[in-house]
Structure 1
Amino acid sequence: MNKPLFIAGCMTAAISLMHVGIVIGGPDWYRFFGAGEMMALQAEQGMIEPIIVTLFIALIFAVWALYAFSGAGLIIKLPLLKPILIAICGVFLLRGLAGIPMVLFNDHPYLNELAGKMTFMVISSLICLIFGYLYLKGILRMSSGKVHFKQK
């Protein structure tokens, strides 16, 4: 088993479930988890858009978790496994490294709002860097040929 990808998969699945929890938790949860005031206000008004967007993000994280579990050798080998894992790793590392500079040096209402929540930005950036590191370590371990995949 590829332990870094297993851990990354578990953490990514937890993030997916957290997004489902945000939908259930409502407007205050949208605010706390950095979705922005506009999304929170839309949720307060009973609009469907925040639910659709948040559940779509949850779905993306769930698929990413499946790819991590596949790379860990826990489930069958999924199509385009290595390139997709590399892309996932890149997204997490990019968010981790560029998230804070992006909110500090761009003028956009949502980014300006996030610039006022620097504790959230620092913590979420560190989390993304940890995820990216785990995916990278797991990908490198896969490349060494130490992972055996489940058969169909």
Structure 2
Amino acid sequence: MTANPWLVAAGALSAAASAAHLAIIVGGPRWYDFFGAGPRMVRLAEQGSPKAALITFGIAAVLAVWAAYAFSGAGLIPRLPLLKLGLAAISAIYLLRAVGYIPALYATGASVGAFAWISSAIVLLYAVVHIAGTLQLWRT
């Protein structure tokens, strides 16, 4: 079986996002701020609260599982349970984050700065790559 190149790329993207979240924990409050975590998370990190690290670690763990699903769909690791459904759900979540984040910020009255636009564009790329890979897998 030839590896699905879209899902290989999708797995690499999710793995990179997971690693970035782990780096943010190590980088501390300035990294939380730079990567747009929001004032509450920055404050928690500044106060040395484990809550910021635990939340960020949880996000990293979810992204690592998503990378594993993409790599499984690509045929690089053994098949995971509910693979096609899982990849479709992951794709949908990335797409929802990409197109829903900025409207959600507007709806809450929060600031919509460069981070919101840049991160939404990046996540849209993640969504497109995941969708392309999932569609290719679904056809096989």
TM-score (norm 2): 0.95
1:125 pairs with 2:120: yes
In the TM superposition, residue 106 of structure 1 has moved relative to its aligned partner by 2.3
Query: Mapping of 1:128-143 within 5 angstroms?
Result: 128-143=123-138
Counterpart in the other structure of 1:103: 105
Counterpart in the other structure of 1:58: 60
Residue 49 of structure 1 aligns with an amino acid whose one-letter code is: K
Q: Deviations over 1:11-33 (max 9, x none)?
A: 11000000000000000001111
Number of aligned residue pairs: 138
Residue 66 of structure 2 aligns with an amino acid whose one-letter code is: W
Q: Between the two proteins, what is the percent identity of the paired residues?
A: 44
In the alignment, structure 1 segments of 5+ residues that lack a partner are: 146-152
Does the residue aligned with 1:74 lie in a helix, a strand or coil? coil
Residue 11 of structure 1 aligns with an amino acid whose one-letter code is: L
Counterpart in the other structure of 1:19: 21
Does the residue aligned with 1:92 lie in a helix, a strand or coil? helix
TM-score (norm 1): 0.88
Larger Rg: 1
RMSD over aligned Cα, in angstroms? 0.9
In the TM superposition, residue 105 of structure 1 has moved relative to its aligned partner by 2.2
Query: Mapping of 1:26-65 within 5 angstroms?
Result: 26-65=28-67
In the alignment, structure 2 segments of 5+ residues that lack a partner are: none
Counterpart in the other structure of 1:7: 9
